[in-house]
Structure 1
Amino acid sequence: MRKITRFVFVSCLLVFSLLLGACGQSAGQGSSASNGGKTLTDVTIGLGYIPDIQFAPFYVAKAKGYYSQAGLNVTFNHGIVTDLVGSMVAGRNTFVFASGDEELTARSKGVQAVDVATIFQRYPVCLIVPADSPIRTLADLKGHSVGVPGPYGATYVGLLALLYHEHLSVNDIHLQSIGFTQVAALLGHKVDAVMGYSNNEPLQLRRQGFPVRTFEVSDYQPLISNGIVTLQTTLRQQPQMVRAFVQATLRGLREVIANPEEALQLSKSYVPGMDLARARDVLQATIPIWRGNGHLGYNDPATWQDTATFMAALKLIPAVPDVSAAYSNQFVS
């Protein structure tokens, strides 16, 4: 396989923020009086995207008082951030909702980040083609145009994973950076295929009467998706706070799975202008991704190893001698 151009997930901010991390600074160490006079610990989580129903487990945990019952005053930091882990190292977040590839990239640069609960049990990215496309297998991708937002993020990693599985490289396809216009690009036949999220773009296309087929990355290459990530210093200094946050979030996740309609209503106040019909579709498509094999929040050692092996094979990170340092299951059970 031809060498694939190295790409960078962690921005230059990380280099500077490492200096802050070396001083042992971490967010969430303050406290505030709330909940009937009970002192709560301030905690922030960077969610890395605009408010959306995909964050319902967090919203429900807050709306139903699970965080406050656990002694936490939780703030959600929304917004598209190019370096989520770096924002945590810089002290702006106690936790971030980051994927395994993001975390391993940060760790390769010296950041001692740890995934304490993987919420998305399946990597929610897929290749999307029109239903009548001649692309019937991954091998058929050769010579075709594929649109991605850019050479970064989960959609790009997902494409690399699909190509890696088929022993192809980006040189075997016509890669096009199309921004976040996957739906319009496929509707307008500007590309032959696009990379998107399993619980997003395929739903939008089908709602517009455009039938599609998908190739789910998790069916071809095991990858660790988004989970609750914090710093090793936080684990060492505040293990009970970490456990409380993880357990309250998993309680919220169980509630969403058991009562999706209630979750929709509770999430409305956190998602301004939420389209209820669209959110319901996204929620129903996301529940199987959260559920996985039924062990909510679990960090699967084999999938972590597969993720590290894949990334090292493509020279995205150096070889990882001991990937078990990147995750922990002690707060899940």
Structure 2
Amino acid sequence: MKKIAFLTALALVASSASAQKLTPVKLQLKWFPQAQFAGFFVAQAKGFYKAEGLDVQLLPIGDQSPIQTVATGTADFGTTWITDLLTARQQGIPVVHIAQLFQKSGFTLVSLKTNNITKPEDLKGKRIGVWPSGNEYPAVALLKKYNMTTSLDSTASNPSVQAVTYPFDPSIVFPDKVDAVSAMTYNEVDQIVGLGYPLDKLNIMHTSDYGINLLEDLMFTSEKVLADKNFRGSGLTGKQIAAKLVRATIKGWNYAVRNQKEAVGIVLVNCGNTCKGSGSRSSALSHQTWQMAEIAKLYNAGPTLKGRAGYLDPAVYKQNVALLKSLGILKADPSPAAVDYSVWQAATGLK
């Protein structure tokens, strides 16, 4: 009788241990830890990933592209911008869009009010600070829409605008070396304010206000992961793991947006010197609080406002593709395999 009780106890312990076994997942972030990725850190801290049976490791990338780490299998999933993903597909890299987190572009061009740059046409003949490695596309697209060329175009004999490439720290070029500078609403705008240029002294031109709404932070993976019949020996397919990851991440983002102060506290635990913001005189707390508030605006837009967080609006996607084709960045429409809606549908139960 005692032996039976002992064996039963062992079985219960084994069952409990098995229930606690989590599937390891590596997710590559596009940049250093900051509130830009608050939803991921919140999902991790609040146990949303664990509740889905996942042990998610968030990998900071710095100024490299997460496309390569996912393509090579160093990471299973990643975050990036729509332009990065579609240009990678064009190059034959089999990455797949599975969820669209930010529904509105946060890209802006910032100038001093004394420069009198209040509309795109005012940029003609000016110097514009842009980022490298494809991050300049929103600025180039805006200029092309208003019939201007840049010095980045080797075929332009007399470019309308002089592009000054700089490595993400506005203090390197602003305001002495450029008339306007690229800045994300949630990051560099606050850094510029921290450099001693208050908002009432600045003109901030949002490219999305002029029809240039190239989508930014999204979740993606590889065709190999999605085709995996037994992801890391979990007994689940890659698609099932992807759906669990997306579901928990959306839950994390919804919580972060509703509880911004708590979310910022979670972010601060995860990030180091970059929390303050390069070139900024503000504290890490104030910079991340600014960032969280601005990020919430990009998340709470479009489909999210209709209860469809993470959904890639087909009409907006089509507009993005058309814009990138008009710039010559895409040579043709992407393969239908570039976007997999089935993951989002499984994650949300929506169609």
Quote the offset at 1:131 in angstroms. 2.1
Percentage identity across aligned positions?
A: 26
CA contact (8 A) 2:97 2:340 kept: yes
**Is 2:304 the counterpart of 1:314?**
no
Q: Which moved more, 1:47-56 or 1:264-273?
A: 264-273
Q: Which moved more, 1:294-303 or 1:89-98?
A: 294-303
Aligned length: 298
Structure 1 regions of 5+ residues with no counterpart?
1-32
CA contact (8 A) 2:90 2:334 kept: no
Determine the structure 1 residue equivalent to 2:24: 42
- Whichever residue aligns with residue 267 of structure 2, its letter is S
Determine the structure 1 residue equivalent to 2:149: 169
- Whichever residue aligns with residue 138 of structure 1, its letter is P
**Is 2:282 the counterpart of 1:268?**
no
Determine the structure 1 residue equivalent to 2:339: 326
Distance 1:107 1:161 in 2: 20
Residue-by-residue CA offset, 1:20-75 (whole Å, 9 max, x unaligned) = xxxxxxxxxxxxx9988611111011102111121110000000000011000000
Distance 2:122 2:333 in 1: 32
Helix, strand or coil for the counterpart of 1:132?
A: helix
* Residues 178, 78 of structure 1: alpha-carbon distance in 2 compared, 3 angstrom cutoff: same
**Is 2:254 the counterpart of 1:254?**
yes
Structure 2 regions of 5+ residues with no counterpart?
1-14, 151-158, 229-237, 276-283
Determine the structure 2 residue equivalent to 1:120: 102
User: Out of 163, 185, 194, which is 1:198 matched to?
Assistant: 185
CA contact (8 A) 1:205 1:212 kept: no
Determine the structure 2 residue equivalent to 1:186: 174
Helix, strand or coil for the counterpart of 2:58?
A: strand
Helix, strand or coil for the counterpart of 2:291?
A: helix
Helix, strand or coil for the counterpart of 1:74?
A: strand
Q: Which moved more, 1:321-330 or 1:242-251?
A: 321-330
User: Out of 293, 311, 319, which is 1:284 matched to?
Assistant: 293
- Whichever residue aligns with residue 288 of structure 2, its letter is A
Determine the structure 2 residue equivalent to 1:219: 209
CA contact (8 A) 1:308 1:323 kept: no
* Residues 222, 277 of structure 1: alpha-carbon distance in 2 compared, 3 angstrom cutoff: closer
Distance 1:35 1:280 in 2: 39
CA contact (8 A) 1:202 1:212 kept: no
RMSD: 2.1
CA contact (8 A) 2:170 2:192 kept: no
User: Out of 48, 54, 72, which is 1:90 matched to?
Assistant: 72
Helix, strand or coil for the counterpart of 1:319?
A: coil
Calculate the TM-score normalised by the size of structure 1: 0.83
Distance 2:265 2:64 in 1: 30
CA contact (8 A) 1:128 1:193 kept: yes
Quote the offset at 1:133 in angstroms. 1.9
Larger Rg: 2
Calculate the TM-score normalised by the size of structure 2: 0.79
CA contact (8 A) 1:60 1:252 kept: yes
